[in-house]
Amino acid sequence: MASRQSIHLGQVQESLLVPLYARAVDSLKKRPILNDPKAVEMVQSIDWDFRRFNQRRRVVGCTLRTAMFDECVKDFLSRHPEGTVVEIGAGLNTRFERLDNGTLHWFDLDLPDAVELRRKFFIDSGRRVTLAGSILDPGWMAAVRQSPGPYCFVAEAVFIYLTEQEVKAALAQIAGNFPRVSIAFDTTTRRAINHENKDHARRKLAARFAWACEDPREIERWKIGLRLVESRTLMDLPDSLRSRLSLPMRAAVRVITKLFPEFTKVYRLNVFTGQSEA
């Protein structure tokens, strides 16, 4: 067996290993939600103590979150099959492999050290390009603007590591440069952030959540040209995803939703559109 690859990532970038591990664990189940053999391959080839992430609640939560983001992109592509998708903070995600329809255009954007790791496992093509840079740096925009619109931006577990001022600047930059845009990103409350940061400390993860958002409609009040069109909790699954869950997991979702309604609202996946796309 080939030697495992050692990796060197920044504090926030290190968190990309959590959803990677979750997809790998899910893929080894009899009835996986995502079925991502590439994730299994990457986990097996990376020299890292993934046992730190071996928590059932976290594995299931990450997998459902990723699957829900997939559904958002699928919805966009059903309306714009030749449009452009930009994955912000792509990490080692395999969303392109899961959703490629043969005509879409795709950009994977992440910080340089994460891109360096990503290039060990992924190869660019005519319709799929990797960009190294920060979402806060407009340098990546020129390449994306050359790709046909409309545009769908996906930021899974990215903005919660930024300050509110940084989130506002990033979203305003996207909305101002891509008027025919759909943006999917998640928000979480201060209560959840405090809990997760304590959990990160226990698991020796240096990254910390920063931006708390109690109500996603706050973004509309920023007056940066975005309108909220959809907002779901992890328990408010679209029918296309719910049907893929095992019977025990469907039952668990119903029980959690009924017994702990306030708990389910601490995390939301939101879709905003620019004024032209809306």
Q: Is residue 66 part of a domain?
A: no
SS3 per residue for 148-203? CCCEEEEECCCHHHCCHHHHHHHHHHHHHHCCCEEEEEEEECHHHHHHHHHHHHHC
Instruction: Provide the pLDDT for residue 210.
Output: 92
Residue 87: which CATH number? 3.40.50.150
Has residue 188 got a pLDDT over 50? Answer: yes
Q: What is the pTM of this model?
A: 0.91
Strand partners, 130: 108
Number of domains forming the structure of the chain? 1
Residue 167 within a domain: yes
The mean predicted confidence, pLDDT, of the chain is 89
pLDDT tens-place string over residues 43-100:
999 988 887 776 677 788 889 999 999 999 999 999 999 999 999 999 999 999 999 9
Q: Is 106 buried (19+), middle (13-18) or exposed (0-12) by CB count in 10 A?
A: buried
Is residue 168 in some structural domain?
Answer: yes
pLDDT tier, 239 (very low <50, low <70, confident <90, very high otherwise): confident
Helix (H) or strand (E) segment spanning residue 25: helix 17-27
Does residue 147 form part of some domain? yes
Would 2 be classed as within a structural domain?
A: no
pLDDT grade for 153, boundaries at 50, 70 and 90: very high
- Tell whether 56 is covered by a domain: no
Please give the average per-residue pLDDT across 201-216, as a whole number.
86
Give the dihedral of Cα atoms 268, 78, 24, 196; nearest 10 deg.
Answer: -10
| Residue 58 within a domain | no
Phi–psi pair at 72, nearest 5 degrees? -60, -45
Q: Does 223 fall in a domain?
A: yes
Query: Residue 98: is it exposed, middle or buried by C-beta count within 10 angstroms (0-12/13-18/19+)?
Result: middle
Q: What does the pLDDT read at residue 190? A: 92
Q: Is 170 exposed, middle or buried (0-12, 13-18, 19+ CB in 10 A)?
A: buried
CB 115 within 8 A of CB 132: yes
Instruction: Please give the residue range of the domain that contains residue 221.
Output: 71-202+211-274
Q: Can you tell me the distance from the alpha carbon of 200 to that of 206, in angstroms, rounded to the nearest whole number?
A: 7
pLDDT in tens, 156-177: 999 999 999 999 999 999 999 9
